[in-house]
Amino acid sequence: MELNDLLNHTSEWLKDTGPHADIVLSSRIRLARNLDKVPFPHWANKKQSEQALKTINEALVNVEFLKKALFLKLADLDSIDKQFLVERHLMSLEHAQRTDHKAVVIDEEERVAIMVNEEDHIRMQYMQSGFNLFDAWNNINKIDDSLANELHFAFLSDWGYLTACPTNAGTGMRGSVMLHLPALVMSGQINRVLAALAKLSFTTRGLYGEGTQATGNFFQVSNQVSLGHGEGEIIENINGIINQIITQENQARETMLARNKAALEDKINRSLGILKSAHIITSQETIELLSMVRLGCDLGMIKELNRRTINELFIITQPAHLQKIENKKLSAQERDVKRAELIRNKLMM
């Protein structure tokens, strides 16, 4: 498998399968691990970072789950390739910005992505479509066990796994769920929901994780602290919160249908009309309009499209994807034109 092969593959988080796929795009479990007696990445010198990368790479090739995985050194990638991986949720923005002695490993299904020498020596994630954190945990736990047979992780009996950020210590686990919440946003209830999440020690980010703002009515909710909590307890807590949000979003949708169905239908169909006819469109406007069209599919107001098609448009219209499709760099205006053309063609199929 090569990097460009991903262009013809549907990302796991966009497959529209799994429980509650109308509201929950994906469930992700991420584990942070560090090598024992090796300085954390931000403190390591060049020689230590190079050795950590080599040691981890040698261990990864022995993991059965990763036999067909793609191993990429970030120093070998150009800026578009790195942005492309960020857009596909396969690595973080921070990892893409500082590339010396770093790598990312991706399995052929795009469910597993392992960043080497990010904030921690190893940050591995397993992603499932829909609402299914326990399944994601069971799978990444197998990979973690395999790596533990090859590597010595920094671990203390009183503290658990040691991590660069104290909030990740203990299990080193962060569970996150990507939610589409247009009804809560339009009804003005989202700020109350976000405030409640913050009080319960959950953090909310945008479509592309840490450092990004919510856009297109997408919110990534995750636990903020893992120290002192077991993996099962963390997942149960997240599941409880997410189930409440799903209920509230469904109730908000039902209320809008009961009170303002005509106005809602008009907004949804106007959004679809713009997407079908626009010849220049920005990435931001695209996400916002696609969010409304996706809601229209969920509510049965748009029958000629399915959620998977809409989901795929969220990613292939992103800047790096457009440039990979065209196989050349494009200016912002050229991307806006190409994006509009791609959307028109996709929606007319």
136 contacts 126 by C-beta, under 8 angstroms:
yes
- Given a contact cutoff of 8 angstroms between Cβ atoms, the answer to whether 178 and 132 are in contact is no
Q: Are 237 and 133 in contact (CB under 8 A)?
A: no
For 244-303, how does the pLDDT look when each residue is reduced to its tens digit (9 = 90+)?
999 999 999 999 999 999 999 999 999 999 999 999 999 999 999 999 999 999 999 999
Domains of the chain: 3-249 (3.30.590.10)
Neighbours of 124 (CB within 10 A): 23
DSSP state of 165: S
Q: pTM for this structure?
A: 0.92
Q: How far is CA 168 from the centre of its chain?
A: 18
- The string of pLDDT tens digits covering residues 78-110 is 999 999 999 999 999 989 987 789 999 999 999
Q: What dihedral angle (degrees, nearest 10) is formed by the CA atoms of 197, 16, 72, 122?
A: 30
Could you tell me the CA-to-CA distances from 346 to 6, 16, 80, 280, 303 in Å, in that order? 19, 17, 23, 15, 15
Look at the block and give the residue holding tokens 């099962």.
Answer: 232
CA atoms within 13 A on the CB side of 5: 10
What digits encode the pLDDT tens for the residues 118-145? Answer: 999 999 999 999 999 999 999 999 999 9
